[in-house]
Amino acid sequence: MAIFAKLAYRDGVTLSSMLFLRFAMAGILLALWGQWRGMYWPRGRDLLWLMTMGGVGYVGQAYCYFSALRYASAGMVSLLLYLYPAIVVVLSAWLLKRPIGRPRVWAVVLALAGTALTVGGDLHSEMAGILLGIGAALIYSVYILIGEGVMQRVSPLVAATVVILSAAVVYAAGALYEGLALPASLGGWLAVSAIALFSTVFAILGFFKGMEKLGAADASTLSTMEPLITLLLAAVVLGEAVMPIQLVGGVLILGAVIYLARSPITR
């Protein structure tokens, strides 16, 4: 997604227009898929919570993530987003008073050390991009904790559809206010469509299918390959430099994330 976004920026698409197109296209396709599968739409408080999660939480996370790509490399932003499992652990212990145990504390320390190496080895990203990338991870962590109760009552597909459609409404207003800036070429349209289809719809449905076949822990573990793949593909497609110290930092972050994904927090 980070690579496709940079390609769309090069084609003159603004942030609000890109995110409106992403969420609108993805939300409509997920809604049609859900209707075909006989999806039950939530009501009342659960619906309100999901709309708030999408219209506030997901909007904020996406804004920080895609804004960070203007100032930082695609690989850097993708790795920083994967700080969110460690942040969730810290916030759970601080706000919800959940016991986390010494091994999980060391996993958080490992993730922070990996981040320091990744940031220190990046020669091109600006501090604004790094801070926005960390902000995206922080907002996503809060989003996860707030939505934890709702997600126990609503299926993941239903929740994702409502959240994405709610975000689309907010970014539609933003795009209209700033002026809708559509892609200027076929390449730009392909990049935006790829964000909506491959990086959103197919990613969500594929992850759900992975959980069905492998279980949540293994599916979550495999999903941690995302930032490493982004880091390597960004070097090939965008010509971004990858320093050895960044690879070491990335391995530390992903190692911590894998451990945290396979050892849920004790309630």
Specify the number of domains making up the chain.
1
Q: Is residue 239 part of a domain?
A: yes
Residue 169's φ and ψ, nearest 5 degrees, are -65, -45
CB 205 within 8 A of CB 37: no
Q: Is residue 133 part of a domain?
A: yes
Range of the domain at 79: 2-261
Q: For the segment 67-118, what is each residue's pLDDT rounded down to a tens digit?
A: 999 999 888 898 888 888 888 888 888 877 777 778 888 888 888 888 888 7
Q: Is the pLDDT of residue 58 over 80?
A: yes
Q: Is the pLDDT of residue 32 over 50?
A: yes
Model-level pTM? 0.85
Q: Is residue 225 part of a domain?
A: yes
C-alpha span between 206 and 200 (Å, rounded) = 10
Q: Is residue 266 part of a domain?
A: no
Q: For the segment 223-260, what is each residue's pLDDT rounded down to a tens digit?
A: 777 887 888 888 888 888 778 888 888 888 888 888 87
Q: Is residue 134 part of a domain?
A: yes
Q: Is residue 72 part of a domain?
A: yes
Q: Is residue 38 part of a domain?
A: yes
Q: Is residue 267 part of a domain?
A: no
